[in-house]
Copies of this chain bind each other. A is one copy, B any other.
Amino acid sequence: MLRLVSNAAESEEKIKAWRTKMLYIIGLGLGDEQDITLKGLEAVNKCHKVYMEAYTSLLSFGLSTNGISNLEKLYGKPIILADREMVEEKAHEILAQAHHDHVAFLVVGDPFGATTHTDLVVRAKKMGIDVKIVHNASVMNAIGICGLQLYRYGETVSIPFFTETWRPDSFYEKIQRNRLMGLHTLCLLDIRVKEPTLESLCRGKKAYEPPRYMTINTAIEQLLEIVQDREESAYTEDTECVGLARLGSEDQMIVAGTMKQLQLIDFGEPLHCLVIAGKTHPVEEEMLDFYRCRT
């Protein structure tokens, strides 16, 4: 009798498990394949289809450095790279699969980090698909390693590449406000991946520009151009900053110094980001000292 009850309970469990298919959105952290959490890896193991957001991931887990194949080896299953078009245009397909099967969508950093995946979550929920988030580190909290306290940051800004005809500088007011309040500013630097060429746009055939990642040097150059153009001084070339390259990787590089000093430094491979310091406290200064450039 007990066995019968137990069997019934087991079947119910199975039916429930069969019904509750899941879309897992899994943060991979910032460094390499070893930065996934045990919980994330367990979720990947459950999934029949594993997608990976390719927009920023080509970089951290770059095809060039065998990053994707390292991930595939670790997971023991293939990964489908979902580029920006696929996520935006074919989200429906990915989500439709999650009706029948566990599906994993891998994201560099945290699912709700710098690049947000809110839209995918909203669509899934509207389709009645259960979504489970597996969190991980992202630039938004790992930046704390530079020594400037996370609760002393103001609004985060994104700095886009200037072109000859397009020089948006709305981020300037945000930096200005943060500095007036003595707050630090995290500047996320532009990433241009799979941008259609002008020619391809005209001819209707798809062809892409080579990927471009803004360096700390370019960011500072643009930042200083803005204050020059505006004849204002929310910051100057003597303002203290921290430049961070490949944050969270084995070969990360962190240097504190003035804009003028950092502009002379070669930070190497992407991704780069920049913090413009606000008012600093003694314990923050002590940490910055370890990173200060000795020029």
- Could you list which residues of chain A lie within 8 angstroms of chain B, going by C-beta atoms? 27, 29-31, 33-39, 41-42, 110-114, 116, 118-119, 121-122, 125, 133, 135-138, 140-145, 147, 149-158, 177, 181, 183, 188, 248, 283-284, 286-287, 290
B42, A150: Cβ atoms closer than 8 Å: no
Residues of B within 8 A of A188 (CB): 151
Give the distance to chain B from A17, nearest Cβ to Cβ, in Å: 16
CA distance A150 to B142 in the complex (A): 14
CA distance A158 to B137 in the complex (A): 22
Taking A135-B29, A155-B183, A177-B181 as contacts, is the C-beta distance between A150 and B38 under 8 angstroms? no
Residues of B within 8 A of A177 (CB): 181
Identical chains in the assembly:
2
Give the distance to chain B from A139, nearest Cβ to Cβ, in Å: 9
Residues of B within 8 A of A152 (CB): 155
A41, B38: Cβ atoms closer than 8 Å: yes
B118, A147: Cβ atoms closer than 8 Å: yes
Residues of B within 8 A of A154 (CB): 154-155
**Sample of 15 more A-B contacts, CB < 8 Å, known A38-B41, A125-B290, A140-B141:** A34-B39, A36-B37, A37-B38, A37-B136, A111-B144, A118-B284, A133-B145, A135-B142, A135-B145, A140-B144, A141-B141, A151-B156, A152-B155, A153-B155, A153-B156
Which of A151, A154, A183 is most buried by chain B, counting CB atoms within 10 A of its CB? A151
Residues of B within 8 A of A155 (CB): 151-154, 181, 183
CA distance A221 to B121 in the complex (A): 32
B110, A144: Cβ atoms closer than 8 Å: yes
Residue of B nearest to A180 (CB): B177
A136, B136: Cβ atoms closer than 8 Å: yes
Which of A112, A143, A158, A177 is most buried by chain B, counting CB atoms within 10 A of its CB? A112
Residues of B within 8 A of A140 (CB): 140-141, 144, 150
B113, A150: Cβ atoms closer than 8 Å: yes
